[in-house]
Structure formats: C-alpha cells, structure tokens
Homo-oligomer: A and B are copies of this chain.
Amino acid sequence: MAEYDFNQLKALFINCTLKKSPRTSHTRGLMQHAIDLMEREGVDTQIVRLVDHDVPPGVYPDMREYGWEKDEWESIFNMVMAADILVIGSPIWLGEKSSEAKKLIERLYAMSGKQNEKGQYIYYGKTAGCVITGNEDGIKHCSSSILYALQHIGFTIPPQADCGWIGEVGPGPSYLDEESNAINTEFTNRTLTFMCYNLMHMATMLKNNGGIPNYGNSVPQWNKGERWAFRKT
C-alpha cells in the first residue's frame, strides 16, 4: 500500500434508507464494507443517515424561507463540500431509488447554481459513486439515475462506480439477514472493492491536478461572451 497514499482524502457516505435510526438499515450494512475499506486505506470517512435529519424537500438552499419550520440541509451540504468523495446509498423500492435519495439529489441540485472560485459548478473536482441494496431487482436502474444526476451537477464518475446486492427474484431476505448469506456474494464484494479504489484513485488524480481546469467550462466567462473554440458555423 506504500505506493498509494489516500491519507489526505475525505469521503462522505449518505445513506438514503427510509428507516429512521435505530432501525436496521440493510443499505448501511453494505455501505459499511466500503467505509471500512476506505478507513483501512487511510481515508477520513463520515456517514449521514438522511432520514434522521429534518431535511424537507425543495429546490432552494434553505427551505425555512419557503414555509418549512426546520431545515438541517446546510450542515449536510457543508459535509459534502468538505469531502473529495461522495457515496450515495439507496435501497430499492419498486425498482427505483428511494424518495430520500431523490430528495437528496434535489437538495444537491438546488446548490448547483453556486460556483467555485474558478467559476465552475460547485461540485467540480469531486468524485462520486453509489451503493444499492434490495431484495429483488433494480441495482442498475437506481445507479443509472443517481450517477447521472451527480455527473450532471459536476461530479466526476470513475469506472465501475456502482455496486449493490439483491437476492433472488421476488420477496426474500435482505442484505443483513443471516439467511441471505449476502456477505459471501463475491460479485458484490468485488464490485464494491473496485468502486472504492476507483473513487480513491480518481479523487487523488483530481486533487493532484487541482480539480478540473476551467479553460472551456467557466460559467462567468461564458456569460461574458467567451466561447473558446466553439463556433456556430
């Protein structure tokens, strides 16, 4: 491990389970393996269970200005901004990501009008992946939706940035249920491992590179009329 030093990286894991603490979250169960792996590699990790916080839906930075009594979003947003790596975990319900995952994307998106000091969208220079669990079907559909949204607002998606576990088709045991024997699913373990390392490598590359250069993607420069090599003809 000498060759790769991930000690300067920070990773934030946001668990979008529908279950409040202290109920058992199978999604958290699988995310924990990614957290542990990164911790062993020296990454500073944090985890948030979104449903435990008073975060209303909405597309503004502070929903208290729009009729909601409480809004704890700012503190979570600050954790996102402090992180190099964001991993969203979601359970599958009816083949799609949870409503908490969609709410998280809406709130992240609501900040994307902000720019970093280079005039780029605020999440440029960060990298992201996702962890999906269910007992039946839908890992790729959920991942597709989550990873698309994240690249759209500025995150870089490295190769194979998603992983997940589902059981046999139809209702059945969940990830942490003993009878699922899910921890021995080598496919899930391998894709989780590759995801973690690809996120750490990409975060390192982006950090060493000072993020993504702003030549060709600066919003204020575009607004001032700069077009770089784009021509209408």
* Interface, chain A (partner B; CB < 8 A): 1, 3-4, 18-21, 23, 33, 36-38, 40-41, 51, 57-59, 66-68, 93-100, 102-103, 105-106, 109, 120-121, 123-124, 137-141, 143-145, 147-149, 151-162, 164-171, 183-190, 192-194, 196-198, 200-202, 205-206, 209, 212-213, 215-217, 222, 227-232
Copies in the assembly, this chain: 4
Please state if A217 and B198 are interface contacts (CB–CB under 8 Å).
yes
Known contacts A137-B139, A193-B227, A229-B37; A20 and B66 CB within 8 A of each other: yes
Question: Which residues on the B side are within 8 Å of A4 (C-beta)?
Answer: 213, 215
Please state if A205 and B209 are interface contacts (CB–CB under 8 Å).
yes
Q: Which of B23, B94, B186 contacts A105 (CB 8 A)?
A: B94
Which 3 residue pairs across A and B have the least CB separation, nearest first? A197-B216, A170-B187, A95-B140
Which of A151, A154, A205 has its CB near the most chain B CB atoms (within 10 A)? A151
- CB nearest to A168 among chain B residues: B168
Please state if A57 and B51 are interface contacts (CB–CB under 8 Å).
yes
Please state if B201 and A213 are interface contacts (CB–CB under 8 Å).
yes
Known contacts A66-B23, A168-B168, A205-B205; A151 and B160 CB within 8 A of each other: yes
Can you offer 23 A-B residue contacts whose CB atoms are under 8 A?
A1-B215, A18-B57, A18-B106, A19-B66, A33-B230, A40-B231, A57-B98, A59-B93, A93-B105, A94-B105, A95-B139, A98-B102, A120-B159, A151-B159, A152-B162, A156-B156, A156-B158, A166-B169, A170-B188, A184-B232, A193-B216, A205-B205, A205-B212
Question: Which residues on the B side are within 8 Å of A40 (C-beta)?
Answer: 229, 231
Question: Which residues on the B side are within 8 Å of A187 (C-beta)?
Answer: 169-171
| Complex Cα gap A232–B158 (Å) | 24
| Complex Cα gap A28–B179 (Å) | 32
A72 to chain B, nearest CB (A): 16
Please state if B121 and A193 are interface contacts (CB–CB under 8 Å).
no
Contacts A169-B188, A193-B216 aside, 6 further interface pairs with beta carbons under 8 A come to A3-B213, A57-B98, A94-B152, A99-B100, A190-B222, A192-B230
| Complex Cα gap A175–B90 (Å) | 28
| Complex Cα gap A41–B232 (Å) | 16
A21 to chain B, nearest CB (A): 8
